[in-house]
A = this chain, B = another copy of it.
Amino acid sequence: MKIGLLGLGTVGCGAVEIIQKNQRDIKGKTGTDIQVTKALVRDLNQPRLVPIEGIELTTNPQAVLADPEIDIIVEVMGGVTLAKDYIIQALQNGKYVVTANKDLLAQYGKELFEIASLVKRNIYYEASVGGGIPLIRPFKHCLAANRIKSVMGIINGTTNFILTQMSVAEKEFKDALEEAQAKGFAEQDPSSDLEGRDAAYKLAILSSLAFNSKIDVSKVYTESITKISLRDIMYAKELGFAIKLLAIGEETDAGLSLRVHPTLVPEAHPLATVHNEFNALYLQGDAVGEVMFYGRGAGSLPTGSAVVSDIIDVVRNINHQVDNGILETTFPSKPLVPMEEKVSRFYVRMKATDEHGVFGSVATVFGDEQISLDMILQKRRDFNVAEIVLVTHDVKEAQFNRALCKIQSLVSIRNLSNVIRVLERS
């Protein structure tokens, strides 16, 4: 069975390497020889990370998309406009499609799945979220009996590496980011990772599967990790928490709540021990209870592993003449809960003039808004400034924000250094 690649970068080369190395095992599992015969590339002369004998490189997309010998098109070129165009052409030419493109799926998944359904072909996208960690298929199959209540994930390796280094090596954000860039865990322009957009794309894909709903990725609330300082990490640790960038999807009677933000995670929670570039998805189903999937969320071979597992599934389905094994969930959109309605606990760090009565006035503001406090730390006085750290009990965002405004207007409060949401103890 012949495969055409669109793109031959990190992930494409990973897939090629795995197919070459495990060819015999894959034949044992599928009864079929699989072979990458063509690859669409931008530059024919660029050096490649793996030997590519037997693969014809071309800069002409039609040479791959319209090749009647090719059954499976693997899109690992990235980007949205061209990739979408090529995938639609591939489907219309009767090809099965494997893609690792989260941006594309999060924005145009519904449209692509509908075209695939019309032409009775499937799009496989295990590699789009969580690298090699099995996530898409478990959702579609293993957890299919469940009504999913919530998904919570560390699904961006860059930010998790940075936050881990800040915690373990006690680095400031800037230094941790530089280390991540030096190690290849962060791009030169890391903003999509840092701001939570990358995680929001992945959350949109996972949530549409988990909650059987169309998700508008632009409606996912995101908050950056750039505001997290080493000081917050150390205070959180003292209070028994790790700070993680969590992507959270929940379904309640009021609707879906979808958000990506830095979160204080209790140390005993399984997500708190997911370190460095590792990813994990923790979810709750009504039948299965809590389940977590953990592994490498990026990289040439882990992501290649997911791509090749999809290829193997396509081969099995072609061999067994399954045209369209699983219909994608093209359910209508469910209503979203606005962030102001969301109930959370909050960590607050603020600087105050070190004089008597200050803490009392802060406490009074919270008391007036009927917000009760779970933890209080006051220390590091220098130059007549006290630092106050609080963790509230559950409160609606809108109500909490009202209290914050009042606190900022107190004369004794020098500044409100940071506010971070806190995960419920499970």
Whether B296 and A146, one on each chain, are in contact in the complex, defined by CB atoms closer than 8 angstroms, is no
Q: Which of A25, A26, A145, A307 has the most CB of B within 10 A?
A: A145
* A146: B residues at CB distance < 8 A: 18, 22, 305
Contacts of A194 in B (CB 8 A): none
Residues on B with beta carbons closer than 8 Å to the beta carbon of A329: 29
Complex Cα gap A138–B294 (Å) = 13
A287 within 8 A of B: yes
Are A138 and B144 neighbours in the complex by a CB distance under 8 Å? no
CB of A288 within 8 Å of the partner chain: yes
When all copies of this chain in the complex are counted, the total is 2
A313 proximal to B (CB < 8 A): yes
What is the distance, in angstroms, from A302's C-beta to the closest C-beta of chain B? 5
A8-26 to B contact mask, C-beta < 8 Å, 1/0: 0000001000110110011
Closest to A138 in B: B134
Query: Of B137, B147, B323, which contacts A138 at CB under 8 A?
Result: B137
Pair B295/A147 contact, Cβ less than 8 Å = no
Interfacial chain B residues near A133, Cβ < 8 Å: 288, 291
User: Does A158 reach chain B (CB closer than 8 Å)?
Assistant: no
8 A-B residue pairs with Cβ-Cβ distance under 8 Å, sorted by A, are A141-B313, A142-B306, A143-B309, A144-B308, A146-B305, A287-B305, A292-B294, A316-B325
> Residues of A at under 8 Å CB distance from B?
14, 18-19, 21-22, 25-26, 28-29, 31, 126, 131-134, 137-138, 141-147, 212, 270, 273, 278, 285-296, 299, 301-302, 304-309, 311-313, 316, 320, 322-327, 329, 331
